[in-house]
Amino acid sequence: MTGYGSQGGKGLGKGGAKRPLKFYRNCLRGITKPDIRRLARRGGVKRISGLIYEEARAILRVFLGNVIRDAAIYTEHAKRNIVTALDVVYALKRQGRLTPTTIGPFQGHHIHST
């Protein structure tokens, strides 16, 4: 068999049933209390209230949603299906989250800070 008419490929038959996308309802539970505590320590915080963890997850959800949305727009505009690191960098830059010091690892990719 040469594989003609099998599933996959563009324009070759119906292609069979699509797999449903996995939907993680509460994936931010993977951001643990020690993770949030480490981020706070990096920011100079000494003591953390117990109520902060859920609040930090809620803020992180909004922040990541904005970055992922912008990165997906860059990916779609480039007619790609895979989000690259540069898509994320451009999304962060668009939101004003990148400074010349945080661009450091990506300077080989001709990202100009303005």
Using alpha carbons only, give the angle 86, 91, 93 rounded to the nearest 5 degrees. Answer: 90
Q: How far apart (Å, rounded) are the C-alpha atoms in residues 108 and 60?
A: 29
Q: What percent of the chain has pLDDT over 90?
A: 54
Mean predicted lDDT score pLDDT of the chain: 81
Tell me the one-letter amino acid at 62: V
Q: What is the pLDDT of residues 31-70, one digit of tens each?
A: 899 999 999 999 999 999 999 999 999 999 999 999 999 9
Residue 104 predicted with pLDDT over 80: no
pLDDT of residue 9: 55
Q: How far apart (Å, rounded) are the C-alpha atoms in residues 21 and 39?
A: 31
Question: For residue 94, which of 68, 58, 61 has the smallest C-alpha distance?
Answer: 68
pLDDT of residue 8: 54
Evaluate whether 42 touches 62 at the Cβ level (below 8 Å): no
Q: What CATH class has 29-109?
A: mainly alpha
Give whole-number Cα distances, 93 to 87, 89, 90, 97, in Å. Answer: 10, 6, 5, 6
Torsion angle (degrees, nearest 10) of CA 45, 54, 25, 29: 50
